Amino acid sequence: MKIELKITTTDNEVSQVAAFVPDFIHWERHSGRKISDLSAGIGMEDLAFLAHAVLKRTGQNPKPFDGWINSIEMIEVAEDDPKVTK
């Protein structure tokens, strides 16, 4: 399973990342929910947590989650892009 996420910051910087197994496991441990629960709907905090997990895993985000979300304007599920951060 993989979800592509498009992140837009308050500075209008746009990036796209791919969340996959390590990020979903991190989300499950954090939320106490199973990945199958996402089929019933995904909340904004879920998307933000997954995006942050990808950025941490790939060494791109040194800020703690609560500080980081203050710099985010939008996070949305995106189309597959072969140039995304893995």
Query: Any idea where the domains of the chain sit in the sequence?
Result: 3-77
Backbone torsions φ then ψ of 85, nearest 5 degrees: -70, 130
Q: Quick check: 1 pLDDT over 90?
A: no
pLDDT for the residue 81: 56
Amino acid identity, position 25:
I
Amino acid identity, position 10:
T
State the average pLDDT over residues 12-33. Answer: 95
Which pLDDT band holds residue 19 (cuts at 50, 70, 90)?
very high
Neighbouring CB atoms inside 10 A of 42's CB total: 13
With 0-12 CB in 10 A as exposed, 13-18 as middle and 19+ as buried, what is 27? buried
In sequence order, the 6+-apart residues with CB closer than 8 A to the CB of 54 are: 5, 17, 18, 19, 23, 85
* Separation CA 85–CA 49 (nearest Å): 16
